[in-house]
């Protein structure tokens, strides 16, 4: 942060883009693979943002763009560490947006689809994996830059606390977690009445065990 101040004289935008992958099925994931991914993605986003926050507060302006992923927003197999970090980043961003709105500071998330050095480690052992990687390779990082630049600019005034996605030439606005259904029982609940009444009432609103690939099943446009 000090190097940026020395070079530019002030800080107006921060893009938390650092990332690594240490994929593995959950019951085989090592402590090091968990901690290293959390450290780079989630802790890294906090520390860089925290370093900029005091400058933003004093000048009463500034923008954060935090890179999240559908691995956390939706789900992917073999990415418990990455998914947890990336979904945690969305909560961090919302908290920053709430805490710093009084200083005209904006904080948003961007979930990009792109082929990069990080995603080059995605396995291609099966035909399905090979097909998924071929689609991803068509989505180059330059497709994500315009939205990141917009979110950092004065044109994005009033846009804060949101989660966006970029997929080829598609722009996506993601929802946040909100109550879907509520059931009430005046005399209270027991495990038996929950099984008999509450779960059947909730079931139609259950989220499926889908993944990013199954949810976004069409070819990128």
Half-sphere CA count of 30, side-chain side, radius 13 A: 4
Closest by CA to 108, choosing from 71, 64, 77, is 64
Where would I find the beta strands (DSSP E) of the chain?
13-16, 62-67, 105-112, 163-167, 170-173
Burial 132-157 (b: 16+ CB within 10 A, else e): beebbeebeeebbeebbeebbeeebe
How far are the Cα atoms of 13, 18, 106 from residue 149, in angstroms, in the given order? 9, 17, 13
Catalytic residue among 64, 82, 164, 216: 82
CB 85, CB 41: distance < 8 Å: yes
DSSP 24: B
Q: Specify whether 56 is catalytic.
A: no
CA distance 3 to 215: 41
CA distance 73 to 209: 12
Tokens 């991803």 appear where? 136
CB 95, CB 49: distance < 8 Å: no
Active site residues: 82
């Amino acid at each position: 942060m000090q190097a940026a101040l020395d070079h530019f004289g002030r800080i107006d935008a921060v893009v938390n883009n650092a990332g690594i992958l240490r994929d593995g099925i959950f019951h085989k994931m090592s402590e090091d693979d968990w901690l290293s991914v959390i450290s780079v993605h989630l802790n890294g986003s906090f520390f860089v943002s925290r370093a900029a926050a005091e400058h933003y507060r004093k000048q009463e302006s500034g923008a954060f763009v935090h890179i999240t992923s559908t691995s956390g927003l939706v789900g992917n197999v073999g990415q418990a560490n990455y998914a947890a970090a990336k979904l945690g980043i969305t909560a961090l961003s919302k908290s920053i947006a709430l805490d710093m709105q009084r200083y005209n500071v904006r904080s948003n998330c961007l979930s990009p689809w792109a082929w990069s050095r990080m995603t080059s480690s995605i396995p291609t052992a099966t035909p399905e994996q090979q097909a998924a990687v071929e689609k991803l390779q068509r989505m180059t990082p330059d497709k994500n830059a315009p939205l990141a630049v917009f979110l950092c600019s004065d044109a994005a005034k009033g846009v804060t606390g949101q989660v966006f996605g970029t997929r080829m030439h598609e722009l996506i606005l993601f929802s946040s977690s909100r109550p879907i259904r509520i059931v009430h029982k005046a005399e209270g609940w027991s495990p038996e009445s929950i099984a008999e009444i509450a779960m059947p009432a909730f079931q139609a609103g259950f989220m499926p065990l889908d993944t990013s690939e199954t949810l976004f099943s069409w070819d990128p446009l």
